[in-house]
Amino acid sequence: MKTKLVLTALALFAATTFEAQAEDLVFKLKNNTGAVLTNFYTSPVGVNEWEDDVFGRQVLNPGEDMEITIADGREVCKYDMRFEFEEGSGLDTTEDMQDLCELGEYTIHE
């Protein structure tokens, strides 16, 4: 009887642990502008600071797209996004908010 109770408790713990883990948020980002997208920042809605640049050392050239993965371990879907373009492009920094759990693709336009 004790063995069955322990196995049941372990199964419940494993199921709870699995459900508590956040899934990575994955979507395609398309640059439909005439300028190089140099920086892309995200942070969950309500967080007052931008997190690290998602691109790192990469950029997204005009007409290109790339798969973006947000793997921050959080269990939230709504993120603020900030896009910065190369200096001298004439394009202003753009900010938006999206539900990344529902988003399969995001295209930035001029």
Structural domains for the chain: 22-109 (2.60.40)
Three-state DSSP class for 53?
Answer: coil
- Taking residues 86-109, what's their average pLDDT? 93
Predicted confidence (pLDDT) per residue in 38-55, tens digit: 999 999 999 999 999 999
Strands 65-70 and 78-85: unpaired
What is the arithmetic mean of pLDDT over 57-81?
94
Give the list of residues 6+ apart from residue 79 with CB closer than 8 angstroms, or none: 25, 42, 43, 44, 45, 70, 97, 98, 100
**Res 22: pLDDT:** 63
Confidence of residue 103 (pLDDT cuts 50, 70, 90): confident
| The pLDDT of residue 66 is above 90 | yes
Element (H, E) at 39: strand 37-44
pLDDT value at 4 more than 80: no
